Amino acid sequence: MITTMSLRDSLLDSAKEVFETMAFMALEEVHEDQEAPRLEDETLLGTITFKGSLEGCLAICCGCHCARTIGANMLGADPDEPMSDDEMSDAIGEVANMVMGALKARVQDEVGTMEVSIPSVVRGRELRNSLGDRASKITVTVNLEEEHSVQFSLLYRESGD
| Among the four given CATH numbers 3.40.50.970, 3.40.1550.10, 3.40.50.880, 3.10.105.10, the one describing domain 4-158 | 3.40.1550.10
Q: Which residues pair with 61 in a beta bridge?
A: 45, 151
Average pLDDT over residues 86-110: 95
CA dist., res. 143 & res. 145, Å (int): 6
CA dist., res. 158 & res. 58, Å (int): 15
Q: What is the pLDDT of residues 5-29, one digit of tens each?
A: 789 999 999 999 999 999 999 999 9
Nearest to 69 by CA among 88, 96, 85, 86: 88
Predicted confidence at residue 40, as pLDDT, reads: 61
Tell me the pLDDT band of 91, cut-offs 50, 70 and 90.
very high
Q: Which residues pair with 29 in a beta bridge?
A: 142
